[in-house]
Structure 1
């Protein structure tokens, strides 16, 4: 690493682009836009499910990414978006404090999100002070790989549901949606393998555009599906403030939501290991700063009505396809997201992307997340002839793929949580026997 806090980015126009390298300005902007497309669906979906304002979530995803960029010294390529790990606890906290027929008490949930961010930040400072060795001991490569794979698998049903579409309830409408999703998937693959020059680096963006245009022609032009509605774009103002909300600190909500920090630690560590495997770099010295960056960003997001945030596996999947890891493209993506947060019209435009197209993109990106686990295991020479490793991974994969949920003292863990804690606990319960 350089002695300076930030890298001295060197320009490079071809081959693998490492974190301390940068594409020419025009290509950097387009690459940043591609990452906005990759994160948008999940960053919007999570707040909608929790009853939050999506524009606030988009805005703070950009702010969070900039905070993370600064705290990690611009050395860890990541985009921070709405975390799905908060959905269950937030809904539980809101439900516990809401009367029937009333609007959800978002403010109470925000207090819990801030508490989770504070706990996460403290863990990060502990790692910075004591080193990352204890984190590695608790979550070695076999465990982090299992967690990364489980994250991809637990998201798989979401991708398939989106690919099936919501344009109709009959079999014909569902079939149309699936064909659009498959066209999008194939387009991404063809662009990734056969597109010339710069275009080969933009498979997600170009695949999304191809799927969008095909859907537009078939649905709006030929009436084969629900037409894309452009009226909301015309009605939305170009510039406008999202609906900010102040937090309220409630002990019950804090107890429900704060433990999510443990899941975020495992997610973030898995993402760091995944990026390290893809880049061939040792990113372990950045683990503590990454935790602090994510924790501070979560606290700031929760202070104004945003969701808790996490390093996004969707964008890691894009990096796996494009082999562009420059951290500067995430600065561009963050600035675009902030502009979108303050522009209802741009937000309305992105929201016209048909659900089956987003589903096709999700199939590719979520699949790449799960596949990254294999790279972690290969790079770290994980021995799967060892029953301890084999059973740890096997159980985590099924818990994630089946989205196994567990409720303890009013706190519900979804598939990511049970796979995370299941892998950690099972691995350490099965100590290697002493040789006979």
Structure 2
């Protein structure tokens, strides 16, 4: 059967639609639009907090989703949105004086490494992943990635408007837990709209705020919370263009630095875990054996991340929000993802739309990120709990301890004036090395499920 031919079905209520099946195109288009809404919030928020262009990010999310589907031969329905796994590393790169080209260069190399891992898994099987990255290690790395972001919230986003941040965070927590069904899955998107409206109301009621801004966090100035001057100047149709906040062009070539590359490589571990967990989740929902496509999925994500970064775009990953939509609708058709990808590409070609998102007030980002970053960190704990990692065993307790403190606390190991390891990079190395150093001949507890149980926090 041709890769682009789906069997048209008319399922009874509650009956599933498989990856190589589809509903009539009208209903398929509606489902595709629903997938766009599901991925929208996080796909736009993470480029903003990484200092990259949201328009370019959403355009490449569409392109990369199509590439993912093709590489996986339309067997693994999934959407590739902006990854949160590199946010902490990007913050570290910028704190050390790196610009956007350094960021995308380092992430591009990480994408290539992920691609090579995918090729290795394709030919050797997923068992290799579980051996090198058991749940104890994977959970620790994901935890230190999330918690390492706490100073970013406290020092950059929250101080721009603490009250809007608090209200936005409160709304997001309630929406994610208390809203019914699909609405809870788009809590980030709803919180973005809520915070935007609150900021606009506060401008009208209280006037300008005196605080730091995203453009300059070194001094406080009077400014509007919501400023649409760039929105008015933006075109309705066109390719992403202009300058980022650090002066680098929106579309730019990567710059390579070994120090910065080492900072982002721990994110590869998180992406491996995410991809593995998501493929397993989709396999369970569809009832199909997708293990033969595990390496393809990991490699496709790596290729997509490298491709997007090569042009200044954001890194990608499979999205749990969209997997959640499939779980709710029982429609697993890859045709719906092609529709979603096409819509995302069209949105990316609307500079005015991107300018609206780029004008998101800092306080709104403060409220969203204080929840999101904490969720990323707690996914590490979730991995430990679901895999019954035994911390009564010193292999786990002692083997992970030093790496966690080094990564979260920002410990630095200096080799020369031009090269050092710190934060997430050093923490990840210590976690992996120390764990396997003391795990020789020991059993670290019931961890046989490996990275399979990882679920994306967002």
Partner of 2:158: 164
Q: 1:267 and 2:270 equivalent?
A: yes
d(CA) in 1 for partners of 2:18, 2:165: 32
Counterpart of 2:367 in structure 1 is 360
- Residue 222 of structure 1 corresponds to 206
Q: For structure 1, which runs of at least 5 residues remain unmatched after alignment?
A: 96-103, 167-176
How many Å apart are 1:348 and its aligned residue?
A: 0.7
Name the counterpart of 2:191: 207
Distance 2:113 2:238 in 1: 33
Question: Please, which moves more after superposition, 24-33 or 359-368?
Answer: 24-33
2:388 is the counterpart of 1:387: no
Structure 1 window deviating more from structure 2 (209-218 vs 111-120): it is: 111-120
Aligned partners of 1:150, 1:14: CA distance in 2, in Å? 44
> Aligned residue for 1:98?
none
1:430 paired with 2:414, answer no
Partner of residue 298 from structure 2, selected from 282, 291, 295: 291
1:32 corresponds to which residue? 36
Q: 1:419 aligns to what?
A: 427
**Paired position in structure 2 for 1:46:** 50
Q: Is the 8 A contact 1:184 1:210 kept in 2?
A: yes
Name 1:67's counterpart in structure 2: 67
Given the superposition, is the C-alpha separation of residues 161 and 259 from structure 1 closer, same or farther in structure 2, using an over 3 Å criterion? closer
- SS of 1:239's equivalent in the other structure is coil
Q: CA deviation at 1:144?
A: 0.9
Residues 6 and 75, structure 1, Cα contact 8 Å, conserved in 2: no
**Structure 2 match to 1:81:** 82
Q: Which moved more, 1:226-235 or 1:321-330?
A: 321-330
User: SS of 2:68's equivalent?
Assistant: helix
Between the aligned partners of 2:333 and 2:147, the Cα distance in structure 1 is: 27
Alignment of 1:320-359 (within 5 A): 334-359=341-366
Determine helix, strand or coil for the equivalent of 1:311: strand
Distance in 2 (CA, whole Å) between partners of 1:136 and 1:310 is 22
**Distance change in 2, residues 1:120/1:143 (3 Å):** same
Equivalent-residue separation in structure 2 for 1:10 and 1:161 (angstroms): 53
Q: For the residues of structure 2 that align with 1:317 and 1:306, how far apart are their CA atoms?
A: 25
- Per the TM alignment, residue 428 of structure 1 is displaced from its structure 2 partner at its CA by 0.6
Cα distance between partner residues in 2 of 1:186 and 1:245: 35
Moved more, 5-14 or 130-139: 5-14
**Comparing 370-379 and 343-352, the one that deviates more:** 370-379
> In the alignment, which of 302, 306, 310 is matched to residue 312 of structure 2?
306
Name the CA distance, whole Å, in 2 between partners of 1:11 and 1:403.
Answer: 56
1:321 to partner: Cα distance: 11
Specify whether residues 369 and 255 from structure 1 end up closer, same or farther in structure 2 by C-alpha distance, changes over 3 A only: closer
3-state secondary structure, aligned to 2:269: helix
- Please give the TM-score of this superposition, normalised by the length of structure 1: 0.74
SS of residue paired to 2:149: helix
Cα RMSD over matched residues? 4.5
Shift of residue 236, structure 1, vs aligned partner: 0.6
Conserved 8 A contact 1:200-1:322: no
CA distance in 1, matches of 2:370, 2:103: 31
Q: 2:143·2:376 contact (CA, 8 Å) conserved in 1?
A: yes
Give the SS at the match of 2:270: helix
Distance in 1, matches of 2:338 and 2:47, equals 17
Equivalents in 2 of 1:350, 1:138: separation in Å? 40
Cα-to-partner distance string for 1:268-302 (whole Å, 9 max, x where unaligned)? 12323554787794976544223311232233224
CA contact (8 A) 2:108 2:307 kept: yes
Contact 1:233 1:349 in 2 (8 A): yes
**Counterpart in 2 of 1:145?**
139
Distance 2:8 2:380 in 1: 29
Residues 91 and 152 of structure 1: is their aligned pair in 2 closer, same or farther, counting only changes over 3 Å?
Answer: closer
Partner of 1:214, secondary structure, is helix
Deviations 1:71-92 (A, max 9, x none): 2445264534364477489779
DSSP 3-state at the match of 1:382: coil
Q: Mean alpha-carbon deviation: is it higher for 215-224 or for 228-237?
A: 215-224
Residues 199 and 58 (structure 1), Cα distance of their counterparts in 2 relative to 1, 3 Å cut: closer
- Mapped to 2, the partners of 1:192 and 1:113 lie a distance apart of 30
- Quickly say closer, same or farther: Cα 1:395–1:92, change in 2 above 3 A: closer
C-alpha contact 2:235 2:352 (8 A) present in aligned 1:
yes
| Residue-by-residue CA offset, 1:219-251 (whole Å, 9 max, x unaligned) | 234326334112221111111223476758x9x
Distance 1:358 1:146, change over 3 A: same
Distance change >3 Å, CA 209–CA 93, structure 1 → 2 = closer
State the secondary structure of the residue aligned to 2:148. Answer: helix
Given that 1:60 and 1:301 are in contact with CA atoms closer than 8 Å, whether structure 2 keeps it comes out as yes
Looking at structure 2, the residues matched to 348 and 391 of structure 1 have their Cα atoms a distance apart, in angstroms, of: 48
Secondary structure, aligned partner of 1:228: coil
1:336-387 CA distances to partner (integer Å, 9 max, x unpaired)?
Answer: 4433432210111112221211222222222222222233223322222111
Kindly indicate whether residue 126 of structure 2 is the aligned counterpart of residue 122 of structure 1. no
